[in-house]
Amino acid sequence: MKFKDNNRPLILLTNDDGTNVPGIKALIELARPLGNVIAIAPDEGRSGMSHAITIKYPLLITRLREEEGFVFYSCSGTPGDCVKLALDKLADRQPDLILSGINHGSNTSISVVYSGTMAAAIEGGIHGIPSIGLSVVDHSPHAELSSAVVFGKKIIANTLQNGLPDGVCLNVNFPPVDSARIKGVKVCRQTRGLWKEEFDHRVDPLKRDYYWLTGYFDNHEPDAEDTDEWAIKNEYVSVVPVKVDFSAHHVMDKLASVYEEKIKV
């Protein structure tokens, strides 16, 4: 994909909710004034797909729109597939920025591991490209997006100008409230906590057991003011820097004494 004015910043844009939701439309409107935009999104909702990639089947893409400085594709794959395919086949050079979202639903705390939105941003980080996942904490298709639009615009412009530290992408969550109520932006860490499963057990007409995933978020530190859950509850925009190196460096020496020294050839 070659744009007419190829000197503008190149922005790759995706999401995990599909091509026809308010979140991605709002993000496209934020991105287009800042550069040339290649948008490629799953052809249907792919929430909860995490960093899944399609290995056993090929990917199909369809061009939905093309205007000066903007092209929009749908893709049969996951958000991770969208980024990989765009980097290899759609962009004629390394993008200056990758944006994913605006997701309809929270990606605070441990949800970062299940999130297709964040997987796309992490994939960008793996490729050394400044990348941001943006989510509004309301999974309704009618979620209030005004905070995301007002503060997302500033965060995106800032990141395009300053870049990000190597191996780090951003997980940005917005409270689902009018932008006038936002108290500020907080750089914070992933809250310690987990989703507690409560599968809903039913029996189908063939007498087979089946299970629907349900559950609730169990916050292990609801009063910790340096966490993303606290920020959202107190009407701040949360910005969590996310690493693409998952190694637990702080326990290497301790574990070497258990696994290297005690297990000999």
Determine the length of the chain: 265
Measured between alpha carbons, how far is 22 from 105 in angstroms, rounded to an integer?
Answer: 12
Nearest distance in Å: CB 63, a copy of itself: 10
- In which element (H, E) is residue 255 found? helix 252-259
Instruction: Write the burial class of residue 127 (CB in 10 Å: 0-12 exposed, 13-18 middle, 19+ buried).
Output: middle
- Which residues 97-156 are close enough to bind a copy of itself by CB under 8 A? 110, 112-114, 119, 122, 126-127, 151, 154-155
Nearest distance in Å: CB 7, a copy of itself: 25
Work out the number of other CB atoms within 10 angstroms of the CB of residue 176: 19
Contact, 104 vs 142, CB < 8 A? no
Between residues 102 and 119, which has the closer beta carbon with respect to a copy of itself? 119
Nearest distance in Å: CB 26, a copy of itself: 18
CA 89 to chain centre: 21
Amino acid at the residue 75:
C
DSSP 9: P
- Binding of a copy of itself by 203 (CB under 8 A): no
Between residues 5 and 143, which has the closer beta carbon with respect to a copy of itself? 143
Contact, 103 vs 145, CB < 8 A? no
- Binding of a copy of itself by 207 (CB under 8 A): no
Nearest distance in Å: CB 36, a copy of itself: 21
Contact, 192 vs 229, CB < 8 A? no
Pick from 1, 64, 149, 185 the residue near a copy of itself by CB under 8 A. 185
- Binding of a copy of itself by 189 (CB under 8 A): yes
Nearest distance in Å: CB 189, a copy of itself: 4
Measured between alpha carbons, how far is 71 from 130 in angstroms, rounded to an integer?
Answer: 20
- Which residues 165-184 are close enough to bind a copy of itself by CB under 8 A? 165, 167-168, 182-184
- Which residues 12-51 are close enough to bind a copy of itself by CB under 8 A? 45, 47-51
* Stretch binding a copy of itself (CB under 8 A), from 7-15, 19-27, 34-42, 86-94: 86-94
Give how many residues touch a copy of itself by CB under 8 A: 83
* Stretch binding a copy of itself (CB under 8 A), from 3-11, 26-34, 64-72, 253-261: 253-261
Question: What are the Cα distances from residue 260, in Å, to 246, 264, 265?
Answer: 20, 7, 10
Between residues 29 and 245, which has the closer beta carbon with respect to a copy of itself? 245
